[in-house]
Structures are given as structure tokens and as C-alpha cells.
């Protein structure tokens, strides 16, 4: 993955690469089921690729202190990626998304029932794997799962009248994305025996970089035709993301049409195209990108509490790569 391109130390780079290759192999095995059909459906999104961002974070954080058992690193990473992929099977049902990782989503390739059941199956596999690591891991995994689900429920229900739209959105993405990415950095710290204050810093860093990750994901939903997903999904669903929320807070004369197009779900594809074009050209996209960059610096700040070395350097390099990514 290009995410480690900036890791300075070649020995460290080789070490990370070895773990990621091993994780890749074990992921596919863990997704095996009783029938060829279920195996096929369960491996569908795994085989389609993906950035393996959560495994990368587990591996990097696991190198902060020497002595982590390679098999424990792999299993912790597998738990995070399988939980993530399970949530994507469900997410594409809820978002009625046709494409994921450049291939048809499971709900579009098969149907909603298959997508939901296979998501559950992968989550079950993640659960048996986390059980091999110990109670502390099971506890964090369970708390994270509860946050994921509550974040998704809050997104679906919307901000309502009494809460601020931006606060609601930031809470949602901290829960639905930040929580699992924070669990990934903490898992990495746990497998190498990091002390409590370092685990706290890893949790804070992970949650913040996770929010940055989702903010840039939401920007790509507007800006990119090459994300492997169909652009404009949030507009179709009527889910306001950072640039839209910034537009609402700072609208000027001339913004009326865009305000209207972003105030309701869109099922007319001409309106989706119009809203996408108007947003792409709008000043709020640059303002949103600047805000994402600022938050990436907040994430980087937490790293000062980590021991110095190539693992910390790599986590720092990720701040830029996540904030300014284009896939």
C-alpha cells in the first residue's frame, strides 16, 4: 500500500510489509464458510481490494514497542478489517449503493438478504478471532460495535431540530468511523504491551485520524469519479456532509439553488449532477479541505506522547496522506 511509502526505515518497511502480506492471506481464510456460495459472497468485498487502512494502523502501532507476537498482530488486524468489511455489507444496503471497491456491492450483485447475512457472518468470524486475543480485546471490540451501530442510527435519524447540524455530523462520524479506527490503533498498542498513557494517546490519535478519514471520504463522494464508489451517494440519501453544512452556515446570495438541492434526498439524476457540479466549483469545498487539514494536525499532535521511532514517524506521515487522499 502507498500509505507506507513515506516510512523512512527500510527494515521497518519490510517488517510492516511482511505482516500485511500475512494478514491478507489469513483474512481470506477467516472468511471461508460451509458452502462455496457463502465463501464467495463473504470474500467478495475482501477480494475487491480496499486500502486495509485499519490493519495498517494495527501493524504500525504494534511496532511502538518491541516484542509483539506476529500472530497476535495479525489476528488483531483481522478483527478490525472483518468488522469494517461487515459494516460495509450492511452500509451498502442502507445506502442503496450499487458499487464498492470498484465492484458491484453485495446487495446489487446478489440481494439485500445475502448482503445482510454475509455481513453478520463476517462479524461472527471477527468475534471468534477476537476471542483468541483475550477479554480486554473482546470488551473493546464490543464497545466499538455498539458505537458503530449508534453512529449509523444517529445518521439515519438525522440531526432533528434541537441539535446543531455540524455537531451532529461530527458526532456521527466519530462513532461510525472514528471508533473503529481508534480501536485499531489501541489494539496495536495492546499487542505490544504499551502502557496506559500511550494507549490513551493512541485512542485519541485514532479517533481523530478516523474523523479525518471519514471527512475526506465524504469530500471524495462529491469530488471524485474514481473512488470505486458511485459519487453523489450522500446527496441522493440527503445526508449533509461537511461542505454542505459549511454552506448552510455561510450561505450568500446566489447559493439558494444549491441550498435547496442539498436540503432533501435527490432521486432525479439530473439534480444529482447539478448539485455535484455546483458543489465542486463552490468555495466551501476549499474551506472544507482546509478544515480537514487542520484536524489532521490535531491528530498528529497526540503522537508526541508516543515513543519516538519509525512507527511514530509512519503514523505521522499518515496524517497528510489521509487528509489529502484521492481514493
The residues that touch Mg ion, with contacts defined as CB under 5 A, are: 91, 95
Instruction: Output Rg (C-alpha) for the chain, integer angstroms.
Output: 20
**Residue that the C-alpha cell 471520504 belongs to:** 217
Query: Would you say 86 or 315 has its CB closer to Mg ion?
Result: 86
Check residue 216 for interaction with ligand FPP (CB under 6 A): no
Three-class secondary structure of residue 261 per DSSP: helix
Give the C-alpha distances (Å, rounded to integers) separating 230 from 17, 98, 99, 118, 258.
31, 7, 6, 22, 20
Check residue 177 for interaction with ligand FPP (CB under 6 A): yes
DSSP state of 3: G
Query: Would you say 188 or 210 has its CB closer to ligand FPP?
Result: 210
DSSP state of 176: I
Check residue 217 for interaction with ligand FPP (CB under 6 A): yes
d(CA 46, CA 102): 12
Among 52, 54, 90, 295, binds ligand FPP (CB under 6 A): 90
If we measure between CA atoms, which residue out of 78, 122, 85 comes closest to residue 100?
85
**How many Cβ atoms from other residues are within 10 Å of residue 87's Cβ?**
21
| Exposure of 38 in the CB half-sphere (CA atoms within 13 A) | 16
Among 176, 289, 300, 325, binds ligand FPP (CB under 6 A): 176
Shortest gap between Cβ of 34 and Mg ion (angstroms)? Answer: 29
| Exposure of 266 in the CB half-sphere (CA atoms within 13 A) | 23
Residue 105 contact partner, candidates Mg ion, ligand FPP, none, CB within 5 to 8 A by sort of partner: none
Residue 171 contact partner, candidates Mg ion, ligand FPP, none, CB within 5 to 8 A by sort of partner: none
C-alpha cell at position 109: 450483485
Count residues near ligand FPP (CB under 6 A).
18
Which 96-115 residues touch ligand FPP, going by CB under 6 A? 97
Query: Would you say 69 or 96 has its CB closer to Mg ion?
Result: 96
Residue 176 contact partner, candidates ligand FPP, Mg ion, none, CB within 5 to 8 A by sort of partner: ligand FPP
8 A C-beta contact, residue 182 and residue 150: no
Shortest gap between Cβ of 233 and ligand FPP (angstroms)? Answer: 6
Which 114-173 residues touch ligand FPP, going by CB under 6 A? 119, 123, 145, 148-149, 152
Shortest gap between Cβ of 179 and Mg ion (angstroms)? Answer: 15
Check residue 95 for interaction with ligand FPP (CB under 6 A): yes
Question: What percent of the chain is helix, strand and coil (3-state, nearest 5)?
Answer: 75, 0, 25
Q: Which residues of this protein are in contact with ligand FPP, per CB under 6 A?
A: 83, 86-87, 90-91, 95, 97, 119, 123, 145, 148-149, 152, 176-177, 217, 221, 229
Amino acid at each position: 500500500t502507498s500509505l507506507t511509502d513515506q516510512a523512512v526505515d527500510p527494515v521497518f518497511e519490510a517488517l510492516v510489509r511482511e505482516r500485511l502480506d500475512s494478514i491478507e492471506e489469513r483474512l481470506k481464510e477467516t472468511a471461508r464458510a460451509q458452502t462455496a456460495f457463502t465463501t464467495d459472497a463473504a470474500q467478495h468485498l475482501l477480494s475487491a481490494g480496499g486500502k486495509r487502512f485499519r490493519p495498517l494502523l494495527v501493524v504500525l502501532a504494534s511496532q511502538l514497542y518491541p516484542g509483539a507476537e506476529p500472530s497476535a498482530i495479525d489476528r488483531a488486524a483481522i478483527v478490525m478489517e472483518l468488522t469494517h468489511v461487515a459494516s460495509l455489507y450492511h452500509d451498502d444496503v442502507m445506502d442503496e449503493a450499487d458499487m464498492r471497491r470498484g465492484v458491484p456491492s453485495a446487495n446489487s450483485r446478489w440481494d439485500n438478504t445475502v448482503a445482510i447475512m454475509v455481513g453478520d457472518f463476517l462479524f461472527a468470524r471477527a468475534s471468534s478471532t477476537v476471542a483468541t486475543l483475550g477479554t480486554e480485546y473482546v470488551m473493546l471490540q464490543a464497545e466499538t460495535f455498539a458505537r458503530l451501530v449508534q453512529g449509523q442510527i444517529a445518521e439515519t435519524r438525522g440531526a432533528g431540530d434541537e441539535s446543531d447540524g455540524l455537531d451532529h455530523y461530527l458526532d456521527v462520524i466519530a462513532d461510525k468511523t472514528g471508533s473503529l479506527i481508534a480501536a485499531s490503533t489501541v489494539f496495536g498498542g495492546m499487542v505490544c504491551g504499551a502502557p496506559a498513557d500511550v494507549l490513551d494517546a493512541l485512542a485519541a490519535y485514532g479517533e481523530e485520524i478516523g474523523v479525518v478519514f471519514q471527512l475526506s471520504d465524504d469530500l471524495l463522494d462529491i469530488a471524485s469519479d474514481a473512488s470505486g464508489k458511485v459519487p453523489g451517494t450522500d446527496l441522493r440519501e440527503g445526508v449533509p456532509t461537511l461542505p454542505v453544512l459549511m454552506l448552510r452556515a455561510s450561505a450568500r446570495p446566489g447559493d439558494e439553488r444549491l441550498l435547496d438541492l442539498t436540503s432533501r434526498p435527490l432521486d432525479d439524476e439530473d439534480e444529482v449532477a447539478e448539485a455535484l457540479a455546483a458543489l465542486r466549483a463552490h468555495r466551501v469545498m476549499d474551506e472544507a479541505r482546509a478544515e480537514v487539514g487542520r484536524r489532521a494536525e490535531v491528530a498528529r499532535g497526540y503522537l508526541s506522547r508516543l515513543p519516538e521511532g519509525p512507527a511514530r514517524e509512519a503514523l505521522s506521515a499518515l496524517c497528510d496522506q489521509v487528509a489529502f487522499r484521492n481514493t
